[in-house]
Amino acid sequence: MEKSESTKIEIAETSKERKGKAPLLGAVPPVAAEHVRGRYKRGISIFDLILRISAMSLALAATVIMGTAEQTLPFFTQFFQFQASYDDLPTFAFFVVAMAIVSGYLVLSIPFSIVCIARPLAVGPRLLLIILDTMIVTLTTAAAGSSAAIVYLAHNGNSDANWLAICQQFTDFCQTTSEAVVAAFIAVALLVFMIVLSAFALRKH
């Protein structure tokens, strides 16, 4: 009889302890949630780093492709040799400078992205990255957009303004500059994606 009561008490006890632990479990979640949130934010940061390295490679490729784009036509007159290089067009020169700045920024931002992986709940580096990324995305888009306008003009010309298409002669040059512009636009898309990811990582819950 005594033995059985003892057993009974013990059962009641454990049930109470379970009840006592229920609010504890309810209060513990912040720590567990913090952990889950940390993992979620770390995942975003790792993805951000991958995108950042890809965007950096693209920006660097765009800079190099445009910077080395030149073509000398095989025919020439006595006084003049037909040659095209990126610095003949101020817009392409701006493209090279802007994309070099973008590449440099993306290289320098990689350590901050790594800090975000190591400390997924830190707000400072993430806020810094989203602000600088937003400014850099406008520079990249301005470079890509302005060069796209000139590349379009070089391909198609404009009869109303009496601007002739130069791509009929400088085919290789036009091909090369178009590739650089496409690379820059893909970099823009990656940067936009990075900003959206950072916004998701910045939000509270």
Site residues (CB under 8 A) for a copy of itself? 2, 6, 9, 13, 16-17, 19-21, 23-24, 27, 30, 84, 88-91, 123, 126-127, 130-131, 134-135, 137-138, 141-150, 152-154, 156, 158, 160-164, 166, 188, 192, 195-196, 198-200, 202-205
Residue 139 near residue 98, CB atoms below 8 Å:
yes
CA 3 to chain centre: 70
To the nearest whole angstrom, how small is the minimum distance from the Cβ of residue 87 to a copy of itself? 9
Query: CB-wise, 51 or 142, nearer to a copy of itself?
Result: 142
Q: Taking CA 189 as the corner, what is the angle to CA 185 and CA 194, rounded to the nearest 5 degrees? A: 140
To the nearest whole angstrom, how small is the minimum distance from the Cβ of residue 114 to a copy of itself? 20
Handedness of CA 35, 41, 44, 46 (dihedral sign): negative
Residue 196 near residue 130, CB atoms below 8 Å:
no
In angstroms, the CA 198 to CA 205 distance is 14
Query: CB-wise, 88 or 108, nearer to a copy of itself?
Result: 88
Query: CB-wise, 14 or 68, nearer to a copy of itself?
Result: 14
To the nearest whole angstrom, how small is the minimum distance from the Cβ of residue 66 to a copy of itself? 14
